[in-house]
Amino acid sequence: MTGPHPTRRVFLIGFMGAGKTTVGKALARRLKWKFYDLDEFIENRERTSIPNIFSSAGESAFRIIESAALMELLKTTELSNSIIALGGGTFVQEKNREILQRPGTITVLLDAPLEELERRCNIGPGGRPLAQDREKFRELFGKRREAYDHAQLRIQTAGKAIERVAKEIEVLLSRRESAGREVAK
């Protein structure tokens, strides 16, 4: 006897430039699920850009706003299958990682080598708030690796087309769901 299909929310995590938003949109189209981008959600909620929040309030204030927005987004997506792209630092915060261990949530790390991420982020002034300086970018990458290792699933994105990465995630999710059904029997 099977009950109603559970709601699933897939959270794409990874460093700046990993492709979370781009792959997330492609994956949502493939699965016919809703797509959300946490950074975009924050900008709409706060009525300002992420760089403005960083420059006016600082990173620690941004992380508080980010956690509150994540909780709000979890409530928003409770009843719909969703793909959610997180900011590069969201999953690094222990409180957020704990929140994302709820039933029905799946975390997928989009991984790429540092050199690939540097190329994608076009390091330097005028870009992302935490990608202005190459040495700081590399240091931050190193610091975040351990947190990213807590993701339930991992996909290597280097040298792959967006649709291929989305297809690989779809296959992993399908296998995971099948394995879950086998265990439930």
Separation in Å, CA 131 to CA 62, 76, 77, 121, 143: 16, 30, 30, 7, 14
For 83-109, write each residue's pLDDT tens digit. Answer: 999 999 999 999 999 999 888 899 999
CATH number 3.40.50.300 is the correct assignment for the domain at 9-184: yes
For 37-90, write each residue's pLDDT tens digit. Answer: 999 999 999 999 988 998 899 889 999 999 999 999 999 998 889 999 999 999
DSSP 110-144: EE--HHHHHHHHT-STTS-TT-S-HHHHHHHHHHH
pTM of the complete model beyond 0.95 = no
* Spans of all domains in the chain: 9-184
1 pLDDT above the threshold of 50: no
181 pLDDT above the threshold of 80: no
Mean pLDDT of the chain: 87
